[in-house]
Amino acid sequence: MRKLSRDEVKYLAAFTMVLNHLANAGLIPAGTLLHDAFVNIGYFTAITMCWFLVEGFYHTRSVSRYLGRMVLFACLAQVPYERLLSLHQLNMLFSLTLCLLLLCVLCFVRDGFLRQFLVLVIFLASLFTDWALLAPLFTAVFARYRTDRKALRIAWPILAALVSLSSLPAAISPYGILNAILAGVFPLLAGVVVLYGCSGEKSPNHQTFHKWFFYVFYPAHLAVLLLIKTAAGL
């Protein structure tokens, strides 16, 4: 069976993200099974993006340009993100920007105290972003075990279990527990896809398109969904 390229996995993650945003934007009625399913399916995305961020960091020709692109498109996405999802926090690209800074600290800062201090600052700063604490944790684990597939096969399910725990509702109920378990299934599935179903290679054609698509798509899809929500009077 042919394995997926890195770009194909990213497209899959982009699709699951759209489903999550459809539900969280109120375009799928809350309290329905479809709404909860779309929210949970979307949890495939963040952990996958953290993995590819780590891979990108170790393969990029310029970390500064990588960081600049992330900040630019994070800023472009912020207004539609807040208005679409009615959230007063920074969007996922800001989360990934912090994760990229975390990788810089882990790789380039040698002083032990300064390194630990900066890591703490980044984790605290993530409290103001999407996927607070979890995104930098995913990134740190993936950076630590990037070349150790045996360790990743152990670490990935643990990270997926943390997503489940973070999804537990304040008022515990059988449905809430089941829904939280399902929330962890899709990050776990992401691990299966990345570790077993992905070749790790880029798509052989149209590499410039693939590279820029993922930056442009994030703010663009938020803007389109916001237009649909506004037109629907929601």
Cross-strand bridge partners of residue 4: 198
How confident is the model over 176-226, as pLDDT tens digits?
Answer: 899 999 999 999 999 999 999 998 787 777 677 888 999 999 999 999 999
Residues 6+ apart with CB under 8 A from 3: 197, 198, 199
How confident is the model over 107-132, as pLDDT tens digits?
Answer: 999 999 999 999 999 999 999 999 99
Q: Residue 69: pLDDT above 80? A: yes
Contact 194, 9 (CB under 8 A): yes
Q: Residue 1: pLDDT above 90? A: no
pTM over 0.75: yes
Q: Residue 53: pLDDT above 70? A: yes
Contact 128, 88 (CB under 8 A): no
> Torsion-angle region of residue 52: left (phi > 0), alpha (psi -120 to 50) or beta?
alpha
For the chain, what percent of residues have pLDDT higher than 90? Answer: 87
Q: Mean pLDDT score of the chain, rounded to an integer?
A: 94
- Could you give the count of Cα atoms lying within 13 Å of 48 in the half-sphere of its Cβ? 30
Q: What is the mean pLDDT of the segment spanning 16-25? A: 97
